[in-house]
Amino acid sequence: MTTLLIAEHDNASIKDATNKTLTAAAALGADVHVLVAGENAKAAADAAAKLAGVKKVLLADNAAYAHDLAEPLAALIVSLAPGYDAFVAPATSRFKNVMPRVAALLDVMQVSEIIKVVSPDTFERPIYAGNAIQTVKSKDAKKVITVRTSTFAAAGEGGSAPIENAAAAADPGLSSFLGEEVAKSDRPELTSAKIIVSGGRAMQSRENFAKYIEPLADKLGAGVGASRAAVDAGYAPNDWQVGQTGKVVAPELYVAIGISGAIQHLAGMKDSKVIVAINKDEDAPIFQVADYGLVADLYQAVPELTDALGKLGK
């Protein structure tokens, strides 16, 4: 019995999502090997080898794995399948894309976005935007699982696993990478941020996000999020979206500004430890989940809050 964890990384380092997924993978009770597939990804493999409890790291270093293309990465994982009983990956966009392809090639049903390992074959997962929690038992001999990382603690370091090279699988050659627009930001990533400041439709413009939300976020050392309404309106880029179909987050502090609180948004943030809502509509549903609600005009309250934090030495 061995579990293969497929790592989220940027070739230079391992992403926090991998540490959290390791906690879920270890709960299956078997040895855990980690697959690092990328190009020039030795540094990421070295980092994976240091994770506590990892028995072996497989490094597949090949240009075919440079750009998250689903077809070659799925082929690689399937080529390793005979040695493993479970394939576990974080539910990031990379693995939401590739893991169901792996599952179909292995003729098994993926268990998507688990939030709890009940036993090695039984898991809890949210359905209906988190309005119900299903407990499912997989009858497949090989398990393919994606993990909702916001509900698992990050595994720490302390291991020194050997690193082996994994041979690249034949690239099906079905797709090719043309380009990407990746936002460069010094702010923490949403899925690992301790604090998140999010803006909604009430922000009214991209400029207002920059003028009100971002200074508050920077004062708090926070990541910046947005509701779907704000992203659809073009006030914020798509990678800021928090919700059922965006990113699911669970920071220590979530500050929702001008967000009404549609169930689809709540699905992405209601596991946050402390929720603050600032909205001028006192009946906004966001107040039903907020620990601290402030009914106020955000254009006054947010600069005031930013100032007050400045005075605290933030």
Partner 1 sequence: MKVLVPVKRVVDFNVKVRVKSDGTGVELANVKMSMNPFDEIAVEEALRLKEAGKATEVVVVSIGPAQASETIRTGLAMGADRGILVKAEGNVEPLAVAKILKAVADAEKPGLIILGKQAIDDDSNQTGQMLAALLGWSQATFASKLEVEGSDFKVTREVDGGLQTVKLKGPAIVTTDLRLNEPRYASLPNIMKAKKKPIDDKNASDYGIDLTPHLEVLKTAEPPGRKGGVKVKDVAELVSKLKTEAGVL
State the binding site for FAD.
201, 227-228, 241-245, 258-265, 279
CB of 93 to partner 1, least distance (A): 4
Among 253, 256, 284, 298, binds partner 1 (CB under 8 A): 253
Is residue 67 part of the contact set for partner 1 (CB under 8 A)? yes
Q: Concatenate the DSSP letters of all residues of 286-312 into one string.
A: GGGT-SEEEES-HHHHHHHHHHHHHHT
d(CA 253, CA 272): 6
131 contact partners, CB below 8 Å, separation of at least 6: 263, 267
Q: Give the torsion through C-alpha atoms of 107, 65, 90, 255, to 10 deg.
A: -140
Residues in 86-145 that interact with partner 1 by CB under 8 A? 92-94, 96-105, 107-113, 122, 126-140
How far the first Cα of the chain sits from its last, in Å, is 49
Is residue 257 part of the contact set for partner 1 (CB under 8 A)? no
CB of 160 to partner 1, least distance (A): 30
For partner 1, the closer CB: 186 or 282: 282
Q: Given the rule CB under 8 A, which of 46-54, 161-169, 205-213, 270-278 is the region that contacts partner 1?
A: 270-278
Half-sphere exposure of 133 (CA within 13 A, CB side): 9
Are 68 and 173 in contact, with CB atoms under 8 Å apart?
no
Among 25, 230, 270, 298, binds partner 1 (CB under 8 A): 270
The tokens for 225 are 């999020």
For partner 1, the closer CB: 33 or 148: 148
Is residue 76 part of the contact set for partner 1 (CB under 8 A)? no
